[in-house]
Structure 1
Amino acid sequence: MKSILVAAAVSLVVSILFTPYLIRVFSKQGFGQEIREEVQKSHSAKRGTPTMGGMAILVALWAGYLVTHLTVSEGWPSVTALLVLGLTTALGIVGFLDDFIKIRKQRNLGLNKTAKLVGQMVASVLFAILALHFADRNGITPASDHLSFIRDITVVSFGIVGFVIFAYIAISGWSNAVNFTDGMDGLAAGTAAMVLASYVLISFWQFRYTCGAGQQIGPTCYQVRDPLDIAVVAAAAMAGCVGFLWWNAAPAKIFMGDTGSLAIGGLVAGLSMTTRTELLMIVIGGLFVVEALSVVLQIGVFRTSRRRLFRMAPFHHHFELAGWAETTVIIRFWILGGISCLFGIGLFYADWLAAGAV
């Protein structure tokens, strides 16, 4: 527990203090956000607001994790945590390139779709392949080639190739879903903080009830590798998002940009695979799912009927164009995101209670 608290405290302080430094530097360099034409009227005042603030979250995440291992955690950083951190950083780099091109070319489009997908593919494939290796003394690898809900569903096995494909779909899907959600001040950062807080609880609970060496595998224990270190990563990321939210809350002084949204999406995807909760993540990250689905449905309906299902996608803009104040949309969506997280945690705990009753 001490390592989780230290990671969160260090990350929070770094994020709160480093973000205003980025605001000054990016403002001086003219690294301002371009605004989509469809929302120019309501968001015109935001044009020029510094972007790429996701760098603060990444720096805070690494600082919280490394300081924890240098001070209170015993042993070396775990393979599982380093894989998740590597995936998060790799997607953050892809997002940074996307943001940088937008700024340099003064447009709302950065990397083309092919380049972004290739970047996501390289990061996903490397993570998936490595995550199926490095077994611990109990033979447990960082990830499993079985599909999982709250535990592995043993009857659904991907195999190595299938898991690599699945990991790519999951990682690109979640990174794009968070990216779609990042359209209003603090919406993505606040929602991500709640999702990551959920994974602090889940991974710490798994640590408390991990099947130990020589222990008979039972329904009340979890076959996961390095759950405590994963809790440290989730705690550092959560606090990094909270610290960033201090400056990103409406009216935002800085945006996370694709640097932050792609990184956070990769992080939650990595957490879901290393904690064996891939399907449960759909519940916990329900708001991200709805935002992504709204884009898919909007495109699908328009291409088939030439009509728009929503006033605008992603979904949060639909309510904004319907007359809701931006802060009203943000707070209500935070409430929905919180409900999704609580429901997901409830399902996780109910499974444990049911397993203990067997």
Structure 2
Amino acid sequence: MISILIAASVGLLVSILLTPYLIRVFSRQGFGQEIREEGPAGHKSKRGTPTMGGVAIIIAMVVGYFVAHLINWMGDDNSSGPSASGLLVLFLGVGLGVVGFLDDFIKIRKQRNLGLNKTAKIVGQVVVGVAFAVLALQFADENGLSPASMNLSYVRDIELIVLPIPLFVLFTLVVISGWSNAVNFTDGLDGLAGGAAAMVLATYVVISFWQARLSCAESPAAACYNVRDPLDLAVVAAAATGACVGFLWWNAAPAKIFMGDTGSLALGGLVAGLSMTTRTELLAIVIGGLFMVEMISVVLQIAVFRTTRRRLFRMAPFHHHFELAGWAETTVIIRFWLLAAICCMFGLGLFYSEQLAGGG
């Protein structure tokens, strides 16, 4: 529990102190955001706001995680140190963050709203995703548990659904691509994605901690959890939560800096990684319901327009629809945060109720 608190506190502190420094540096370098011409008129005033603030989230998360382990090691000679599961989730988040950073940097240098072309962006996500998928099936512990499982999972592995390795890798890529793009689509209003991501990550702190308390290695009961390193996953999620909250201090409306694809792809990768290593891929759809709705709104908009030549929403992603309907930006943000909180609470309720049912 102490490691979780340290990770969250250090992540928060590093993020809240590092972000204003990045604002000054990026402003001097001219690393300003380009705005879509077809977007809401009120967004044009945001042109030139520093972007790539996701760098602060990534650094704060990594520092928070390792400082928590360092302090734990200094105070306890029996400390096991960073785990395979924790490092793999960090690898996924940082790896996708690098892809996002390249995308942001090209946007800035070429002064356009499009960075990496679709092929290059997909290739980057695939390389990181395949590496994660392959490594996640390695590093079995003394109980034979790897960081991820080839079973499809809800709250625990669904024993009847076992994916062969090629299909598992493909499934992992779908999960990673889905979450990274979902968070990326949500990142369109000041603080919207950062606040929602903080709630989802905090939910995973609770879930991982609960799994650690009822680990099958510690309590071999029918309703226990076969997760390799649940407590360390809670430390990762806590560090990332603190990093998001610290960044939100500067990213809340009116934003002084945007996270850019650097932050949104990294956060999407973290959610994907945590869902797979905690064996909650299907439950994550509920917990991150806001992100799912935003992504689905884009898919529906494209599908309806291509088939009928009419628009289902005034603009996609979904949050822009309400802006164009006359809602103030802060109203959209706060109400969407409330929706994100409801999804997280509902997800936790499902997790807890399944535990009460005895895993049956």
TM-score (norm 2): 0.97
2:181–2:268 CA contact under 8 A, matched in 1: yes
2:40–2:323 CA contact under 8 A, matched in 1: no
Distance 1:334 1:293 in 2: 18
Distance 2:222 2:202 in 1: 24
1:189 to 194, 202, 208: 194
Distance 1:183 1:281 in 2: 22
Amino acid at match of 1:33: Q
Distance 2:152 2:223 in 1: 19
The ranges of structure 1 where at least 4 consecutive aligned residues each deviate by more than 4 angstroms after the TM superposition are none
Residue 348 (structure 2) pairs with residue 345 (structure 1): yes
Structure 2 unaligned segments of length 5 or more: list them.
Answer: 74-78
Partner residue of 2:168? 163
Partner residue of 2:129? 124
Is the deviation greater in 293-302 or in 74-83?
Answer: 74-83
2:7–2:238 CA contact under 8 A, matched in 1: yes
Where 2:357 maps in the other structure, the secondary structure is helix
Residue 240 (structure 2) pairs with residue 266 (structure 1): no
Partner residue of 1:106? 111
Amino acid at match of 2:60: A
Distance 1:22 1:169 in 2: 33
Residue 153 (structure 2) pairs with residue 148 (structure 1): yes
Tell me the alpha carbon deviations over residues 112-142 of structure 1, each in whole angstroms, 9 at most, x when there is no partner.
1111111000011000011011100000000
Residue 218 (structure 2) pairs with residue 254 (structure 1): no
Partner residue of 2:69? 69
Aligned length: 355
Residue 104 (structure 2) pairs with residue 86 (structure 1): no
1:325 to 312, 325, 328: 328
Where 1:153 maps in the other structure, the secondary structure is strand
Distance 1:86 1:15 in 2: 19
Distance 2:40 2:231 in 1: 45
Where 2:147 maps in the other structure, the secondary structure is coil
Partner residue of 1:51? 51
Where 1:49 maps in the other structure, the secondary structure is coil
What is the deviation of 1:40?
5.4
Where 1:212 maps in the other structure, the secondary structure is coil
Where 1:37 maps in the other structure, the secondary structure is coil
Amino acid at match of 1:155: L
Tell me the alpha carbon deviations over residues 194-225 of structure 1, each in whole angstroms, 9 at most, x when there is no partner.
00000000000000000116x64x32210001
Is the deviation greater in 32-41 or in 242-251?
Answer: 32-41
Partner residue of 2:358? 355
Amino acid at match of 2:162: S
Partner residue of 2:42? 42
Partner residue of 1:172? 177
Structure 1 unaligned segments of length 5 or more: list them.
Answer: none
Distance 2:172 2:247 in 1: 28
The 1:59–1:8 alpha-carbon spacing in structure 2 relative to 1, beyond 3 Å, is same
Tell me the alpha carbon deviations over residues 250-291 of structure 1, each in whole angstroms, 9 at most, x when there is no partner.
000000000000000011000000000000000000000000
Distance 2:237 2:63 in 1: 13
Distance 2:248 2:170 in 1: 34
Distance 2:252 2:40 in 1: 20
Distance 2:124 2:196 in 1: 25
Where 2:158 maps in the other structure, the secondary structure is strand
Partner residue of 1:31? 31
Tell me the alpha carbon deviations over residues 313-347 of structure 1, each in whole angstroms, 9 at most, x when there is no partner.
00000000000000000000000000000000000
2:248 to 245, 249, 252: 245
What is the deviation of 1:180?
0.1
Where 2:34 maps in the other structure, the secondary structure is coil
The 1:326–1:40 alpha-carbon spacing in structure 2 relative to 1, beyond 3 Å, is closer
Q: What pairs up with 1:300-311 in 2 under 5 angstroms?
A: 300-311=303-314
2:182–2:268 CA contact under 8 A, matched in 1: yes
Distance 1:21 1:7 in 2: 21
Partner residue of 2:232? 229
Partner residue of 1:287? 290
Residue 205 (structure 2) pairs with residue 200 (structure 1): yes
Residue 139 (structure 2) pairs with residue 138 (structure 1): no
The 1:40–1:103 alpha-carbon spacing in structure 2 relative to 1, beyond 3 Å, is farther
What is the deviation of 1:76?
2.2
Amino acid at match of 1:79: A
Amino acid at match of 2:29: Q
1:212 to 209, 217, 242: 217
Partner residue of 1:299? 302
What is the deviation of 1:75?
2.0
The percent identity for this pair of structures is 72
Distance 2:217 2:182 in 1: 36
Where 1:26 maps in the other structure, the secondary structure is helix
Where 2:101 maps in the other structure, the secondary structure is helix
Partner residue of 2:76? none
Is the deviation greater in 74-83 or in 102-111?
Answer: 74-83
